[in-house]
C-alpha cells in the first residue's frame, strides 16, 4: 500500500478565490473532502470555500449545562430551605418570585461555562483529516492541506502551481499544544 | 435607481480620488497586509519604554500601600476606622462597588450588543472594552470583601453544609449579588478569552522564550482550521447573546440591594433600568477614556483606534446621557409627586443640603457638559476634550452613587437619627487604591494580551467594499458569516 503524506498548498491572503478553486481541483483529481482541510488566519465560511458544512456539539453541550444549572437552582431554591429553614420577615420559605433570580443566574452560568467547556473539549480532542501547520497562516495566508502519495502527482502539482499556490511537500504537523 | 454593484478591492478609480482619501480615514477602508498588522500589534506589546516601567512601578507601590496596606491595617484594627457609623452603614465601600460593577458593563455592551447588531465600528476596540469589564469586576469584587470587615469568614456566603448551621438566604438581594457578580465575572472572562484564541496563536508564532511557552499553552493548539473557526463563531454567538441578559441582571440586582428596602429614596421600581443606563453611561465613558490613552501611549495604536471610533462612541454617549437624564428625572418626578414627606425631604436635601455641591456636579458632568459638547462632530473628534468629558462623566457617576447611598441613607424618617457621612482617610485611600489596581492590571495586560483583535479587523476589512452608485462610490458591507 502506498504511503499517504500530507501536502500543503499555500495561497496569499488575497487569493481566496484561487484557494477555493484549488479545493475543487483536488476533488476533480480524486481526493475526497475528508482528505482535505483548510487552515486560515481569517475566518472563511465553508460556503466561501465550497466545503461541506462543519458540525459541532457545542450548542448541545451548552444546552445540557443550562439544564444542569437550572436543576441546581431548583435544589438551592426549593430543596435547601427544607434542610436549613430561614424565616425572614414573614416571607414564605419557598417563594417563586425570589427564586427566579437565582434560577436565571445559575441557568446562564451553566450555559456559558459548559459552552466554554465544549470549546475546550472539542479543541483539544483529536481531529480527523490531514494535519499540518505553517506559521504564515496567522499572517493571513490560506493553507489547503491534502493527503496524497509521498510523491505528489505532477498534474496535481501543475494545477495547484498554476493557481498561484506555493506547495509544501510533506507538510510538518507541529505540536502546538503541550 | 440604476446602481452598478462592483467591488473595488483596494483603490478607487482616479475620478474618485477625493472620495478615496476621505474613506481612508476609516480603518475598514485602509487595509494593510495581515503580516504588517500582526507586527504592529506585537510591537505594541513588546515595545516598552523606561517611562512605562516607572509608571507601572508607581502604580504597584500605590496599589500595595493604598489598597492592600490600608486594607490590612483595617482588618487588624477593625472597620471602625472608616467613617461608617449610624445611620450611614453604607458609604464609600458600597459606592465603589456600584461604580466598578457599572464600569464593567461597557465591555459587554460594546462587545456583545454591538456584535449582535453588527455595528462594524466596534471591531478594533472590543478587546480593550472586554478587558475593562474583567478588571472592573476584579476591582469591584474586592468591595464586598472589604465591607465585610471580618474578611476571613467570607466563605460563609458560599452554600455548603456546615457545623455552624449557617446557610445563605437565597431570598436576599445580597446573596443574589454574590451569584450575579460571580456569573458575570466568569462569563465575561471567558468571553474575553474566546476571541483571543486566534490572536494568542498569532503571538505564539511570533515569540520565543517564556512568552512563547505561555502563548502556546493559552492558544490551546489553535491552527485556524475550518472546524476551529466554526466552533469559535458558534461559541462567540452563544456568548454574545447570553451575556447581554446577564449584564442587565447584574446591575438590576445591584439596584435591588437598595430598591427592595423600605428606605426613603431607595424604594423605587425604576431603580433597575436607571442603574443599568447609568452603568452603561459610565462604562462607555471609561472605554473612550481608555481608548484615548491607548491611542496616545501604545505604539501603532493610532492605526487601529481612530477618530471615527471616538466619534461613534461619542454619539452613543450623548444618547446614554439623555437616557440617564430621562431616568433620573423620572425617578425624581414620581418620588417628588408622590408627596411622601420623607422622600421630599431627602430630595430637597440633595439639592440644598451641605452636600448639594455633589448633586450639582453630578448634573453638570452627566448632563450639562455632555449635551453641550457631544452634539458637535468636531468636538467629538477632539481627543483631549473627549478625555475631559468622559473622565467628567465618571466623576459624575461616582457622585450619583454617592448621592444615592450615604447622603440618602443619612436622612431617613427620624430627624433625630440623621447623620452626615464623611469618608475618612482609609476609605479614600482604598477607593484610590482600587483605581490604581485597575490601571496597573490594565497596563500589565497591555504588554501581554494583543489589545486589538487582528483577525476581527481583517475580517471586517474583507467585508467592506466600495459600491459605485451613479457618479459616486459609497461604502457597503457584506455579510461574510
Q: Which cell numbers in the block locate residue B53?
A: 516601567
**Are B180 and A105 a contacting pair at CB < 8 A?**
yes
ipTM passes above 0.90? yes
- A76 chain-B contacts, CB cut-off 8 A: 159, 170
For residue B89, being part of any structural domain is answered with yes
**pLDDT tens-digit map of B388-447:** 999 999 999 999 999 999 999 998 888 888 888 899 999 999 999 999 999 999 999 999
Q: How close, in Å, is residue B396 to chain A by CA atoms?
A: 30
**pLDDT tens-digit map of B347-402:** 999 999 899 999 999 999 999 999 999 999 999 999 999 999 999 999 999 999 99
B209 φψ region: left (φ > 0), alpha (ψ -120 to 50), beta (else): left
DSSP state of B68: I
Q: Into how many domains does chain A fold?
A: 2
pLDDT at B364 (0 to 100): 97
**Are B462 and A86 a contacting pair at CB < 8 A?**
no
Last residue of a domain, one of A124, A141, A157: A124
- A17 chain-B contacts, CB cut-off 8 A: none
Q: How close, in Å, is residue B203 to chain A by CA atoms?
A: 9
For residue A135, being part of any structural domain is answered with yes
For residue B461, being part of any structural domain is answered with no
Residue of B nearest to A115 (CA): B235
**Are B224 and A137 a contacting pair at CB < 8 A?**
yes
Q: Identify whether residues A33 and A119 lie together within a single domain.
A: no
Q: How close, in Å, is residue B81 to chain A by CA atoms?
A: 31
B215 interface with A at CB cutoff 8 Å: no
The CB-based long-range contact list for B222-225 (8 Å cut-off, 24+ gap) reads B222/A123, B222/A176, B222/B197, B222/B198, B223/A39, B223/A133, B223/A137, B223/A176, B224/A39, B224/A40, B224/A41, B224/A137, B224/A138, B224/B198, B225/A37, B225/A38, B225/A39, B225/A127, B225/A129
- A45 chain-B contacts, CB cut-off 8 A: 480-481
Chain A contacts in chain B segment 157-176 (CB below 8 A): 159, 161, 165, 167, 169-172, 175-176
Q: How close, in Å, is residue B457 to chain A by CA atoms?
A: 9
pLDDT at B249 (0 to 100): 93
pLDDT at B256 (0 to 100): 93
Q: How far apart are CA A21 and CA A24, in angstroms?
A: 5
Q: How close, in Å, is residue B322 to chain A by CA atoms?
A: 29
Q: Identify whether residues A144 and A113 lie together within a single domain.
A: no
Q: Identify whether residues A116 and A67 lie together within a single domain.
A: yes
**Residue A81 belongs to what domain range?**
58-124
For residue A176, being part of any structural domain is answered with no
pLDDT at B6 (0 to 100): 47
A111 interface with B at CB cutoff 8 Å: yes
Q: Into how many domains does chain B fold?
A: 1
Q: Which among A46, A101, A104 is the nearest to B226, CB-wise?
A: A46
Q: How far apart are CA A68 and CA A63, in angstroms?
A: 9
For residue B25, being part of any structural domain is answered with no
At residue B405, what are phi and psi to the nearest 5 degrees?
A: -90, -80
For residue A175, being part of any structural domain is answered with no
Q: How close, in Å, is residue B255 to chain A by CA atoms?
A: 13
**pLDDT tens-digit map of A60-94:** 999 999 999 999 999 999 988 888 888 877 788 88
Q: Identify whether residues A22 and A80 lie together within a single domain.
A: no
Q: Identify whether residues A82 and A136 lie together within a single domain.
A: no
Q: Identify whether residues A115 and A138 lie together within a single domain.
A: no
Q: Which of A113-127, A141-155, B323-337 has the highest mean pLDDT?
A: B323-337
**pLDDT tens-digit map of B27-63:** 988 889 999 999 999 999 988 889 999 999 999 999 9
The DSSP bridge pattern shows strands A36-40 and B472-477 to be: unpaired
pLDDT at B368 (0 to 100): 97
For residue A178, being part of any structural domain is answered with no
For residue B132, being part of any structural domain is answered with yes
Q: Which among B224, B238, B455 is the nearest to A39, CB-wise?
A: B224
- B234 chain-A contacts, CB cut-off 8 A: 56, 58-59
Contact criterion met (CB below 8 Å) for B278 and B106 = no
Q: How far apart are CA B78 and CA B429, in angstroms?
A: 16
Q: Which among B235, B249, B459 is the nearest to A115, CB-wise?
A: B235
For residue B384, being part of any structural domain is answered with no
For residue A118, being part of any structural domain is answered with yes
Q: Identify whether residues A67 and A118 lie together within a single domain.
A: yes
Chain A contacts in chain B segment 249-268 (CB below 8 A): 249, 253
Residue of A nearest to B232 (CA): A119
Q: Identify whether residues A48 and A83 lie together within a single domain.
A: no
CA atoms within 13 A on the CB side of A93: 11
Global pTM? 0.91
Q: Identify whether residues A66 and A104 lie together within a single domain.
A: yes
**Residue B193 belongs to what domain range?**
31-260+269-317+419-450
A123 interface with B at CB cutoff 8 Å: yes
CATH code of the domain covering residue B35: 1.20.1630
**Are B170 and A77 a contacting pair at CB < 8 A?**
yes
pLDDT by 10s per residue, chain B, length 481: 444 444 445 544 455 666 666 777 889 888 899 999 999 999 999 888 899 999 999 999 999 999 999 999 999 999 999 988 888 889 999 999 999 999 988 777 788 888 888 888 889 999 999 999 999 999 998 999 999 889 998 888 777 777 877 788 888 888 898 889 899 999 999 999 999 999 999 999 999 999 999 999 999 989 999 889 999 999 999 999 999 999 999 989 999 999 998 888 898 899 999 999 999 999 999 999 999 999 999 999 999 999 999 999 999 999 999 999 999 999 999 988 988 888 999 999 999 989 999 999 999 999 999 999 999 999 999 999 999 999 999 999 999 999 999 999 998 888 888 888 899 999 999 999 999 999 999 999 999 999 999 999 999 998 888 888 887 777 787 776 6
Neighbours of B78 (CB within 10 A): 10
Q: Which among B33, B233, B235 is the nearest to A43, CB-wise?
A: B233
CATH code of the domain covering residue A21: 3.30.70
For residue A18, being part of any structural domain is answered with yes
Q: Identify whether residues A139 and A156 lie together within a single domain.
A: yes
How far, in Å, are A90, B63, B254 from residue A96 at the CA level? 15, 43, 20
**pLDDT tens-digit map of A11-43:** 998 888 999 999 998 888 888 888 899 999 999
Q: Which cell numbers in the block locate residue B169?
A: 438566604
Q: How far apart are CA B465 and CA B1, in angstroms?
A: 19
Amino acid at each position: 500500500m502506498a504511503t499517504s503524506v500530507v501536502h500543503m498548498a499555500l495561497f496569499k491572503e488575497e487569493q481566496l478565490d484561487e484557494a477555493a478553486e484549488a479545493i475543487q481541483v483536488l476533488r476533480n483529481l480524486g481526493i475526497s473532502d475528508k482528505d482535505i482541510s483548510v487552515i486560515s488566519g481569517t475566518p472563511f465560511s465553508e460556503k466561501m470555500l465550497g466545503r461541506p458544512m462543519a458540525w459541532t456539539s457545542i450548542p448541545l453541550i451548552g444546552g445540557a449545562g443550562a439544564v444542569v444549572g437550572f436543576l441546581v437552582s431548583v435544589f438551592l431554591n426549593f430543596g435547601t430551605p427544607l434542610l436549613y429553614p430561614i424565616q425572614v420577615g414573614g416571607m414564605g420559605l419557598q417563594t417563586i418570585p425570589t427564586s427566579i433570580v437565582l434560577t436565571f443566574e445559575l441557568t446562564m452560568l451553566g450555559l456559558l461555562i459548559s459552552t466554554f467547556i465544549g470549546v475546550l473539549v472539542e479543541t483539544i480532542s483529536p481531529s480527523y483529516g490531514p494535519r499540518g501547520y505553517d506559521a504564515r497562516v496567522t499572517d493571513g495566508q490560506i493553507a489547503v492541506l491534502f493527503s496524497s502519495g509521498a510523491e505528489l502527482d505532477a498534474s496535481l502539482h501543475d494545477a495547484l502551481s498554476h493557481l498561484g499556490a506555493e506547495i509544501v511537500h510533506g507538510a510538518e504537523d507541529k505540536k502546538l499544544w503541550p | 435607481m440604476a446602481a452598478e454593484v462592483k467591488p473595488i478591492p483596494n483603490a478607487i478609480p482616479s475620478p474618485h480620488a477625493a472620495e478615496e482619501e476621505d474613506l481612508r480615514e476609516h480603518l475598514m477602508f485602509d487595509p494593510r497586509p495581515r503580516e504588517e498588522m500582526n507586527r504592529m500589534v506585537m510591537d505594541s506589546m513588546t515595545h516598552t519604554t523606561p517611562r512605562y516601567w516607572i509608571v507601572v512601578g508607581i502604580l504597584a507601590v500605590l496599589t500595595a500601600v493604598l489598597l492592600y496596606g490600608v486594607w490590612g491595617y483595617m482588618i487588624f484594627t477593625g472597620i471602625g476606622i472608616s467613617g461608617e457609623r449610624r445611620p450611614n452603614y453604607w458609604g464609600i465601600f458600597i459606592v465603589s462597588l456600584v461604580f466598578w460593577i457599572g464600569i464593567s458593563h461597557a465591555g459587554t455592551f460594546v462587545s456583545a450588543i454591538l456584535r449582535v447588531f453588527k455595528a462594524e465600528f466596534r471591531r478594533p476596540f472590543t478587546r480593550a472594552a472586554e478587558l475593562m469589564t474583567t478588571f472592573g469586576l476584579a476591582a469591584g469584587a474586592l468591595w464586598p470583601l472589604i465591607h465585610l470587615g471580618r474578611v476571613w469568614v467570607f466563605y460563609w456566603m458560599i452554600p455548603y453544609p456546615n457545623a455552624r448551621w449557617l446557610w445563605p438566604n437565597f431570598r436576599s438581594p445580597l446573596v443574589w449579588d454574590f451569584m450575579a457578580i460571580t456569573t458575570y465575572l466568569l462569563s465575561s472572562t471567558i468571553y474575553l478569552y474566546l476571541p483571543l484564541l486566534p490572536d494568542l496563536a498569532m503571538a505564539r508564532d511570533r515569540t520565543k522564550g517564556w512568552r512563547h511557552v505561555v502563548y502556546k499553552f493559552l492558544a490551546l493548539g489553535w491552527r485556524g482550521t475550518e472546524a476551529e473557526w466554526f466552533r469559535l463563531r458558534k461559541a462567540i454567538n452563544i456568548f454574545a447573546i447570553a451575556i447581554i441578559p446577564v449584564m442587565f441582571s447584574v446591575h438590576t440586582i445591584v439596584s435591588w440591594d437598595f430598591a427592595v428596602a423600605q428606605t426613603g429614596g431607595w424604594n423605587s421600581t425604576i431603580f433597575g433600568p436607571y442603574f443599568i443606563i447609568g452603568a452603561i453611561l459610565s462604562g462607555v465613558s471609561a472605554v473612550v477614556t481608555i481608548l484615548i490613552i491607548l491611542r496616545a501611549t501604545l505604539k501603532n495604536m493610532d492605526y487601529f483606534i481612530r477618530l471615527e471610533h471616538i466619534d461613534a462612541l461619542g454619539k452613543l454617549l450623548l444618547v446614554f446621557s439623555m437616557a440617564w437624564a430621562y431616568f433620573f428625572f423620572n425617578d425624581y418626578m414620581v418620588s417628588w409627586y408622590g408627596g411622601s414627606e420623607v422622600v421630599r425631604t431627602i430630595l430637597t436635601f440633595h439639592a440644598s443640603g451641605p452636600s448639594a455641591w455633589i448633586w450639582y456636579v453630578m448634573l453638570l458632568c452627566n448632563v450639562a457638559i455632555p449635551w453641550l459638547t457631544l452634539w458637535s462632530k468636531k468636538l467629538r473628534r477632539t481627543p483631549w476634550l473627549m478625555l475631559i468629558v468622559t473622565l467628567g462623566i465618571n466623576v459624575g457617576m461616582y457622585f450619583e452613587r454617592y448621592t444615592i447611598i450615604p447622603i440618602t441613607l443619612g436622612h431617613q424618617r427620624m430627624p433625630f437619627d440623621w447623620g452626615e457621612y464623611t469618608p475618612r482617610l482609609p476609605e479614600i485611600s482604598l477607593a484610590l487604591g482600587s483605581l490604581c489596581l485597575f490601571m496597573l492590571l490594565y497596563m500589565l495586560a497591555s504588554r501581554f494580551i494583543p489589545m486589538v483583535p487582528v483577525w476581527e479587523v481583517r475580517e471586517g476589512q474583507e467585508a467592506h467594499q466600495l459600491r459605485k452608485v451613479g457618479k459616486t462610490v459609497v461604502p457597503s458591507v457584506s455579510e461574510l458569516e
